[in-house]
Amino acid sequence: MIYKVLFQERVTEVPVREKTKSIYVEASSEMEVRKKLASRAYNIEFVQPVENEFLEYEKQNENFKVEII
């Protein structure tokens, strides 16, 4: 399954919408996503599964790229 992860680049940053970034990660669960990203110092705000119509919509975004971790 593919998950969309919304995050700040530094753990010390307060979440601000304008600075929020997103990446897509393939994993079997949200916990696995968080484990894969643990080595990066991200302040993860939200992990959301992306499937069906939502996935097709996200694929239309020019920045859509699934991270290989």
The pLDDT value recorded for residue 34 is 95
Domain residues for 59?
2-67
Task: Specify the CATH number for the domain of residue 36.
Answer: 3.10.20.730
Token pair listed for 51: 């499937």
> What is the CA angle 10-16-21, rounded to 5?
60
The pLDDT value recorded for residue 28 is 94
**Quick one: which of 37, 44, 51 has its CA closest to 3?**
51
pTM to 2 decimal places: 0.86
How many domains, in total, are found in the chain?
Answer: 1
| pLDDT string in tens for the chain (69-residue length) | 999 999 999 888 788 888 899 999 999 999 999 999 999 989 999 999 999 999 999 999 888 899 888
